[in-house]
Amino acid sequence: MILTADIGNTNITLGIFEGDDIVFVSRLATQRHRTSEQYAIELNAVFELEGINKTGFEGAIISSVVPELTRVFKNAIEKVTGCDALVVAAGIKTGLKINTDNPKEVGADLVAGAVGAVTQYPLPCLVMDLGTATKISVIDENGVFAGCTIAPGIGISLDALSMRTSQLPTIELTAPEHAIGTNTIECIRSGTVLGNAAMLDGMASRLERELGTTIKSLVATGGLAKEIVACCEKDIIFNKDLILQGLLTIYRKNR
């Protein structure tokens, strides 16, 4: 088994692969002040709950956008599985050429998502990651990471709306029946869900024009993607495990 871990600003997503098949996915809360021992206890509890043999791991790999937790979680994995986890960082083999002003600035999650897309979908491709931030990566016809866009994530926007207004409530993120809302909750759902869907559609068209060639694949991932993608007018593939699949590919390139 190979353990993959994507450390994001809100959640740490874990995936276990047997061969090419992902057999287990779980999420832990990202808590920056936790120690490796605390995360090891949580990992151990998750594995025991699911009946996973902790001695059955061949290796592990981590992508992280929370630098203060990278070493902490790497140590936790070693305590529980005995594996010295790879970390997606400068110097690791990814097979991905990055054509940006400073390739070192590109987040490990964006790299893993791009690798996952390049190995599975026709190019050029847009990778839409809807998490704490909404990110759209552009992969050209040669598999080169050409750049990306970053916007505040849906959860952040909703939290800000609720905190900075006196009369607007916190809502569940579900699609409204109509774009023209007739009550407060439906109005917020329209603006949030349909508004973000329209943003993805519009940005896809704009990025395609700027790239100067037809985009062959639109792929979405991230914890908030499923509801939004269902409301898009463009044909967008939802792949909740894209980053974990990319991590598996990177692991194999380095082992």
Task: For residue range 15-50, list pLDDT tens digits in order.
Answer: 999 999 999 999 999 999 999 999 999 999 999 998
CA atoms within 13 A on the CB side of 52: 23
pTM above 0.85, yes or no: yes
Which pLDDT value is given to residue 255?
85
* 6 pLDDT above the threshold of 90: yes
Partnered with residue 137 across adjacent β-strands are 127, 148
Q: Give the CATH fold of the 123-238 domain.
A: Nucleotidyltransferase; domain 5 (3.30.420)
| Average pLDDT value for residue range 201-221 | 96
Q: What is the pLDDT of residues 106-131, one digit of tens each?
A: 999 999 999 999 999 999 999 999 98
Buried b (16+ CB within 10 A) or exposed e, 35-62: ebeebbebbeebbeeeebeeeebebbbb
What sign for the dihedral angle of Cα 92, 95, 96, 99? positive
Q: What is the pLDDT of residues 154-195, one digit of tens each?
A: 888 887 777 767 666 666 778 888 999 998 888 888 998 999
Active site residues: 109
CATH class (in words) of the domain with range 2-90+248-254: alpha beta
Q: Outline which parts of the chain fall under CATH 3.30.420.40.
A: 2-90+248-254, 123-238
What mean pLDDT value characterizes the chain?
Answer: 93
| Average pLDDT value for residue range 213-230 | 93
| Average pLDDT value for residue range 58-82 | 96
